[in-house]
């Protein structure tokens, strides 16, 4: 019974690796002496197939890791390299586990002890999700604080510019009033000079001295 409580380590090649997908697109499923399509393999698995396998065997996984390998470096890389770059890019986007070369899991039986492991796994997942959300919330709060500070600085700058604008308007109003007063005084002075000139030109002395002014060299 104690042996049943031991963890099982499982390592399975990923049948949905991009190099295998590329070989299938070429109409081939070439068994190899090693690697993904090792001829000693009896069955081939993708992620959901592994989930089904665990369920059928009464197991629950606690930790799931993957070994990543670019298809250009795999043993079937010639199938991948023969694809057009457009097709390669499309497959990279569409194949979620396309770079997964190997699935490595630690699993336990799904009895009472296994249920506690499953609960622990779920708790760890929830804790990870909570941490990710907390980090996102913290980043959002930081962004809001930065926006708040930027708004305060902009408002302060606008207040300063508004005060300076009002001061400039007041100075221009004073200058305008002064200019208007100066203009009015100048107009009065001009009018007075014109009246004085008119009186001189119409005076008897100016008329009597006209012949003398004509003789002046």
- What SS3 class is residue 145? helix
CA distances from 161 to 73, 155, 168, 175, 184 (A): 63, 10, 10, 21, 34
The residues, ordered by sequence, that sit 6+ positions from 53 with a Cβ below 8 Å of its Cβ are 45
> Cβ(104)–Cβ(10) under 8 Å?
yes
Residue 1, pLDDT score: 34
Residue 210, pLDDT score: 73
2-109: CATH topology is: Rossmann fold (3.40.50)
Where are the chain's structural domains? 2-109, 111-163
Question: Is the whole-model pTM more than 0.75?
Answer: no
Residue 213, pLDDT score: 67
One digit per residue, the tens of pLDDT, for the chain of length 217 reads 344 456 789 999 999 999 999 999 999 999 999 999 999 998 999 999 999 999 998 888 888 999 999 999 999 999 999 999 999 999 999 999 999 999 999 988 877 555 666 666 667 777 788 888 888 888 888 888 888 888 888 888 998 999 999 999 999 999 889 889 888 998 888 888 888 888 877 887 777 777 776 765 5
Residue 122, pLDDT score: 67
Residue 8, pLDDT score: 87
Residue 3, pLDDT score: 41
């Amino acid at each position: 019974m104690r042996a049943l409580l031991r963890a099982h380590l499982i390592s399975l090649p990923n049948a949905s690796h991009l190099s295998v997908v590329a070989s299938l697109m070429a109409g081939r499923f070439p068994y190899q002496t090693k690697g993904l399509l090792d001829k000693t393999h009896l069955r081939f698995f993708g992620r959901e197939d592994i989930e089904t396998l665990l369920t059928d065997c009464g197991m629950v996984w606690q930790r799931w890791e993957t070994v990543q390998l670019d298809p250009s470096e795999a043993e079937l890389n010639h199938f991948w390299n023969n694809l057009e770059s457009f097709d390669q890019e499309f497959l990279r986007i569409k194949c979620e586990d396309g770079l997964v070369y190997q699935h490595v899991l630690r699993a336990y039986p799904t009895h009472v002890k296994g249920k506690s492991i499953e609960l622990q796994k779920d708790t760890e997942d929830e804790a990870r999700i909570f941490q990710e959300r907390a980090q996102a919330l913290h980043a959002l709060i930081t962004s809001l604080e930065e926006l708040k500070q930027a708004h305060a600085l902009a408002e302060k700058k606008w207040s300063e510019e508004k005060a300076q604008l009002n001061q400039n308007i007041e100075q221009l109003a004073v200058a305008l009033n002064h200019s208007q007063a100066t203009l009015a005084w100048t107009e009065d002075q001009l009018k007075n000079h014109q009246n004085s000139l008119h009186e001189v030109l119409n005076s008897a002395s100016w008329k009597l001295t006209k012949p003398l002014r004509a003789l002046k060299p």
